[in-house]
Amino acid sequence: MSQNNLITMDEFTIQETRKFKQATGDLSALLRDLGLAGKIINNQVRKAGLVDILGQHGATNVQGEEQMKLDVFANETLINILKNCTECAGIASEENDDHLSYEDTYSQNAKYVVLFDPLDGSSNIDVNASIGTIFAIYRRVSPIGTPCTLEDFLQPGNKQVAAGYIIYGSSTMMVYATKLGVNGFTLEPSIGEFCLSHPNMKCPEKGKIYSINQGNSVKYDEGMMSYLSFCMENNKEEGRPYSQRYIGSMVADMHRTLIKGGIFIYPGDKSSPKGKLRLQYECNPMTLIMEAAGGMGVSGKENILDIQPTELHQRTPIFIGSKNMVEKAMEFVKAPQNA
Ligand code: P6P
């Protein structure tokens, strides 16, 4: 594409803003700043193999996981960029025990809060697999002009104003959803801009890929086991078994699912009934994106976006992807004997 055909993410978000007379441009500015954080993190990720940035940072995060130095860098980058951007009153991060309310007046007068997983899939850093940043944007419920509160970060996913991810893969992309739909932007390094590359993204209603860590299946219940058998049989729709793909990095597995169709599953099991993935900064943003693209995301009991959070770092089982594959999985998971 010649340079003069490129539409940068900033130009695109401004064009989108103009569709709403009452829009102030604050959300566009916030998305631009998240893109800036992504570019800064991208620079470090691309150097990870060269700079002595690999290896355990030593500290452990609230999940009890050893923090890779890149995790810490990504977290601090997002916190600082959002602190200086004037559209964000505060943040909550996978890497921090509690939410953080910015203390300056500009921030306290902001109307949005942001939750993020700064570097999801970080255990894949030293094997050079794709990793990513996931974010969710909410309008605060606490009064403008005051410090934001925990309630701002415990809103259900259906209250998200926007959500997205940045994937540090064979190329660096930023994908985000608003009520207008899902759009993908690829970083053009020669100009340092995210440029529109995947307009109006739609998740194929059908798919042929199931994505799950089958190593956990010894702990699955009867419904999950019957669904796995279905995936591995010559199922009627496809006339062949589904293909199994699992990268172990949610952003990478979800990006493939969004583009190619399929289903990504991290279910609950006998030892972890709520599964592993976090509701507020992994499952909710990915479900908003998937639903805006025509897919769906459920916990096995309810739509992910309808779950009322009670804790900042709570987990939920997730079945997400092509609508007809998620519905089929629910036939097994909800009532195995009727499948
Ligand atoms: P498992 C990465 O640690 C992560 O949080 C997600 O990115 C990924 O989908 C999942 O955990 C992988 O978990 O148990 O299969 O290694």
Domain extent listing, the chain: 3-198, 209-338
pLDDT value of position 179: 86
Quote the percentage of the chain above a pLDDT of 70.
Answer: 90
Model pTM? Answer: 0.93
Taking residues 152-173, report their average pLDDT.
98
CB 94 within 8 A of CB 114: no
- In one-letter notation, the amino acid at residue 278 is R
Of residues 301, 267, 311, the one with CA closest to residue 154: 311
**How remote is the CA of residue 17 from the centroid of ligand 1, in Å?**
35
Distance 331 CA to ligand 1 centre (A): 25
Q: What residue owns the CA closest to ligand 1's atom 10?
A: 248
> What's the gap between Cα 105 and its chain centre?
29
Mutation to probe ligand 1, out of 250, 257, 272 (largest number of atoms < 8 A from CB): 250
Q: Give 121 Cα–ligand 1 centroid separation in angstroms.
A: 6
Quick one: pLDDT band at residue 1, thresholds 50, 70, 90? very low
Q: Say yes or no to pLDDT of 338 above 80.
A: no
Angle at 250 between CA 173 and CA 205, to 5 degrees: 80
Which helix (DSSP H) or strand (DSSP E) does residue 107 occupy?
helix 105-108
The confidence score (pLDDT) of residue 105 equals 94
Pocket (CB within 6 angstroms of ligand 1): 120-121, 123, 213, 248-250, 253, 276
DSSP H or E run through 139: strand 131-139
Distances (CA, A) of 138 to 81, 100, 154, 175, 253: 17, 15, 10, 17, 25
139 beta partners? 112
d(CA 191, ligand 1 centre) in Å: 33
Of the candidate ranges 16-25, 53-62, 172-181, the one whose mean pLDDT is the lowest: 53-62
Q: Is the pLDDT of residue 47 over 90?
A: no
Q: Is the pLDDT of residue 55 over 80?
A: no
CATH 2.60.40.10 is right for the domain spanning 209-338: no
CA distance 310 to 17: 33
**Of 60-64, 191-195, 223-227, 319-323, the least confident:** 60-64
Name the CATH code of domain 3-198 (choices 3.30.1360.20, 1.10.260.40, 3.30.540.10, 3.30.70.330).
Answer: 3.30.540.10
Identify the residue whose C-alpha is closest to ligand 1 atom 4. Answer: 121
